Amino acid sequence: MDNDVRLAVLIDEGNIMTDEHTIDLDALRDVYRHERDRRIRPDGARQYARTAGEFGYYAKDPYTDRTEREPVGDRVNVLIIGAGFGGLQTGAFLREAGIDGIRMMDEAGDVGGTWYWNRYPGVRCDIESYVYMPLLEETGFMPTERYATGEEIRQHAVRIAKHYDLYRDTLFQTRATSLTWSDEGAEWTVTTDRGDEFRARFVVTSSGTLTQPKLPGIEGIDAFRGHTFHTSRWDYGYTGGDQTGGLEKLRDKRVGVVGTGATGLQVVPLVAEYAKELVVFQRTPSTVDVRDNRPTDPNWAAEQKPGWQRERMDNFLEVLAGDPVEESLVTDGWTKTPSLQREILSGSFGDSTDTELDDAVTMNRIRARVDEIVEDVPTAEALKPWYRYMCKRPGFSDTYLQAFNRPNVTLVDTADHHGITRMTENAVVVGDEEHELDCVIFATGFDAGVSGVVSGTLPVAGRGGRQLLEAWGRGPRTLHGFSTHGFPNLLQLGALQNANSVNFVHVLQEQASHITAMIAAAERSGAAWVEPTAEAEEAWVREVFATAHDTAAFQAECTPGYYNGEGTAAITGMTYSPGPVAFHRLLREWRETRMHEVLVTDEQAYALAQGAYAEATA
Ligand code: NDP
């Protein structure tokens, strides 16, 4: 860090500047650029190794033994790919709507999605449980804490599956390998990696976007002879204990944790408590704001009136989107910074200089908190984040910074070396410093990709055999993100050309309702299938681009990470910028007045099939 530049920023006494008029934005921007430039790598997103092929064992399921079964070759009404909260809510609403013949499929050994995989010590949701965990009133459950543990959330996914009888026809440990539409049967043929080949009238995909664990492509990573694993496949056989602690087997171990994102923040305090030595390898520090977790107050829980969860969820979304509310019901780290989050998410946008000043005040408070907690001055300096608040996923913890005051914990700042330099048989090397270790735990995140459908790992052939990715040759084309012309009865959940929010489970709930409404309308009306017209799709794509908030300038100034394509590209135009509140209003109106537009009659279906046939044979 260049001290002259930093001193220019710290024009106030100490480094706590809460008076926005004393902040020199030009100097602050210089510091941020300096910190970005230290970390930019020419190989961008190519620096990572996929946990496939030779590294496939990093992605192996440590929680459920593989069960052999016979392939299936039957027909179902609705196939839901993905049994996380998106798929589960869709299944729940379809059941409520009286729609039968539902089959859920997932690569995991059970429901839960991200909460199935991420069982590392300390795992919790960083969004308030009362608004994050879906269907609480419907299933009669109240979270025990404001920020529930991962295990409580996973168990809640199981509760939902049982409550709505969604285990009845599941295919776990199964990955769909192709989807092929047939006009004749008005159905999809689905093949899987278990040899299944069955038919489904509707296919709903909800397969997540942060699912494939990734590793840094560190030279010599495969030469290391000690133990290694990724946080999303925690090896409790090696560490002992469970998500709450008790990692007794680490008492005589020298452990390295690589990565200080949202996961690193949760893992480090517990590993620090048990390991003989812990070395934390940091490239970019996270913001670490106050967590303030607490047990659920039974009096508060008893006072809640029917409909309370919906009201609280809507209120949280409105506050973050910048919509006027009488009272903010959730007051936490997220509701303190809505205008800053809208810089890269969505909602109504204010004056950018005002936002930048707010950003600087927030970041100064967060940097000051490091000084208040961390005793060793060089360690505290290295833990201070120098970038705009939303350059990285905001972090919250009341135990992470404190862990660096323990005598057995060392922070190694790798920024000047663009991460870890290499690994040897028994050590992690940064620059010319070797750190001998028994175990290296990678908290290095996930491929920030898109669903299998969008990435092409699940090939989809629609009407006339046309591949979805070919139809999207010049970019994704959907109506509201859910459906594409030429791909009947294929309904997708996800943020693409749809809404986004930090409380993504809420967005998924709206999507599940909307998909259920479309399927129910098709069943009621006797439609041949559900499919948008090419005109409606074109109009939506134009709307998404016309209203897009350009985040390129903001992203270009950020330290690299998956939010900005590792500093090489800005990711824009993917979601509906006016925000989730506006989007959900738009969907409600559409359902009331325009639903009929996607319900394809038998005559229309015949004409569409003929058209596709003529095109394919031309
Ligand atoms: P991230 O991608 O956010 O973090 C990966 C970490 O690994 C970063 O600190 C990164 O540094 C570091 N890293 C990568 N390569 C190297 C290298 N070569 N040398 C040293 N360090 C390296 O992954 P997470 O698992 O922390 O989080 C992923 C996402 O999961 C979050 O953004 C969030 O959306 C979600 N999540 C949500 C939680 C919740 O409670 N809702 C909890 C946990 C995760 P750098 O920053 O410099 O790239």
Write the residue with the smallest CA distance to atom 24 of ligand 1: 445
Residue 118 CA: nearest ligand 1 atom is: 43
Closest C-alpha residue for ligand 1 atom 23:
445
| 132, pLDDT greater than 70 | yes
* Per-residue pLDDT tens digits for 541-587: 999 999 988 788 888 889 888 777 777 765 555 889 899 999 999 99
Distance 286 CA to ligand 1 centre (A): 9
Average pLDDT, the chain: 91
Strands (E), 206-260: 214-216, 227-230, 254-258
- Per-residue pLDDT for 8 more than 70? no
Ligand 1 contacts CB of residue 582 (under 6 A): no
Q: Indicate which atom in ligand 1 lies nearest the CA of residue 265.
A: 26
- CB of 256 shorter than 6 A to ligand 1: no
- Residues forming a β-bridge with 181: 188
pLDDT of residue 187: 98
d(Cα 553, Cα 556) in Å, to the nearest integer? 5
pTM of full prediction above 0.85? yes
Q: Residue 366 burial (CB < 10 Å; 0-12/13-18/19+)?
A: buried
Residue nearest to atom 10 of ligand 1 (CA): 259
Judge if the beta carbon of residue 262 lies within 6 A of ligand 1: yes
Any idea which residue has 């201070």 for tokens? Answer: 384
Alpha carbon distance 42, 367 (integer Å): 29
User: 473 alpha carbon to ligand 1 midpoint, in Å?
Assistant: 31
Q: Which residue lies with its CA nearest to atom 22 of ligand 1?
A: 259
Residue nearest to atom 2 of ligand 1 (CA): 445
User: SS3 for 13?
Assistant: coil
Return the pLDDT at 229: 94
393 CA to middle of ligand 1, Å?
A: 8
Summarize pLDDT for 213-265 with one digit per residue, the tens.
888 888 899 899 999 999 999 999 999 999 999 999 999 999 999 999 999 99
The per-residue pLDDT for 24 is: 85
* Span from the CA of 9 to the centroid of ligand 1 (angstroms): 28
Residue with the nearest Cα to atom 18 of ligand 1?
A: 419
The CA 205 to ligand 1 mean position distance, Å, reads 25
Q: Is the CB of 132 under 6 A from ligand 1?
A: no
Cα angle: 376, vertex 380, 385; to 5 degrees: 175
Q: Which two tokens stand for residue 169?
A: 């026809």
* SS3 readout for 546-570: HCCCCCHHHHHCCCCCHHHHHHCCC
Q: Is 448 in the pocket of ligand 1 (CB under 6 A)?
A: no
310-348 b/e with 16+ CB inside 10 Å = b? eebbbbbbbbbbbbeeeeebbebbbbebbbbbbbbbbbb
Q: What is the dihedral of CA 531, 535, 538, 539, to 10 degrees?
A: -110
pLDDT in tens, 420-460: 999 999 999 999 999 999 999 999 998 766 678 877 889 99
- pLDDT for the residue numbered 51: 66
CATH superfamily of 75-212+448-613: FAD/NAD(P)-binding domain (3.50.50.60)
What would the pLDDT profile of 156-210 be if each residue is shown by its tens digit?
A: 999 999 999 999 999 999 999 999 999 999 999 999 999 999 999 999 999 887 7
The CA distance from 136 to 126, in Å, is 18
Closest CA to 309 of 166, 512, 128, 96: 128
Q: Is 287 in the pocket of ligand 1 (CB under 6 A)?
A: no
pLDDT over 60 (residue 39): yes
Closest ligand 1 atom to Cα of 217: 18
- Among 115, 88, 61, 97, residue whose Cα is nearest residue 170: 88
Helix (H) or strand (E) holding 611: helix 602-617
Q: 365 alpha carbon to ligand 1 midpoint, in Å? A: 22
Range 147-161 average pLDDT: 98
Ligand 1 atom at shortest distance from the alpha carbon of 39: 47
Inform me whether the pLDDT recorded for 3 exceeds 80. no
pLDDT of 2 higher than 50: no
Residues 478-487: tens digit of each pLDDT: 999 999 999 9
Looking up tokens 């440990």 gives: 173
Read off the pLDDT of residues 588-599 as tens digits, 9 standing for 90 and up. Answer: 999 999 999 999
Contact assessment for residue 233 and residue 61, using Cβ atoms and an 8 Å cutoff: yes
Q: Which ligand 1 atom is nearest residue 48's CA? A: 15
Q: What is the pLDDT of residue 44?
A: 75
Instruction: Give CA torsion, residues 259, 261, 265, 271, to 10 deg.
Output: -20
C-alpha 347/C-alpha 436 separation (Å) is 48
Residue nearest to atom 12 of ligand 1 (CA): 259
State both tokens at 400.
């992470």
Task: Please report, to the nearest 10 degrees, the dihedral formed by the alpha carbons of residues 469, 475, 477, 480 taken in order.
Answer: 120
Gap from CA of 392 to ligand 1 centroid (Å): 9
* Distant-in-sequence, close-in-space partners of 354: CB < 8 Å, separation ≥ 6: 339
Ligand 1 lined by 441 (C-beta under 6 Å):
no
Residue 208: name the closest of 15, 492, 537 by CA: 492
Of 42-51, 166-175, 464-473, which range is least confident? Answer: 42-51
In the three-class reduction of DSSP (H, G, I as helix; E, B as strand; rest coil), residue 235 is classed as coil
CB of 121 within 6 A of ligand 1: the answer is no
* β partners of residue 412: 281
Stretch among 5-19, 120-134, 320-334, 433-447 having the lowest mean pLDDT: 5-19
Instruction: Give every CB contact of residue 294 below 8 A, 6+ residues apart in sequence.
Output: 145, 146
Confidence of residue 348 (pLDDT cuts 50, 70, 90): low
Ligand 1 test: best mutation among 393, 396, 397, most atoms within 8 Å of CB? 393
Question: How many residues belong to the chain?
Answer: 618
Is residue 9 predicted with pLDDT exceeding 70?
no
Residue to mutate, 263, 411, 505, ligand 1, most ligand atoms under 8 Å from C-beta:
263
Q: What are 424-427's contacts with CB under 8 Å, separation 24+? A: 424/220, 424/223, 424/224, 425/223, 425/224, 425/225, 426/224, 426/225, 426/226
Look at residue 341 and give its three-state secondary structure.
Answer: helix
Which atom, in ligand 1's list, is nearest to the CA of 147?
A: 40
Does pLDDT of 63 surpass 80?
yes
Residue 441, SS3 per DSSP: strand
Average pLDDT in the 118-125 region?
97
Q: What is the distance between the alpha carbons of residues 83 and 86, in angstroms, rounded to a whole number?
A: 7
- Distance from the CA of 406 to the center of ligand 1, in angstroms? 23
The residues near 496 (Cβ < 8 Å, ≥ 6 apart) are 450, 454, 476, 478, 481, 574, 575
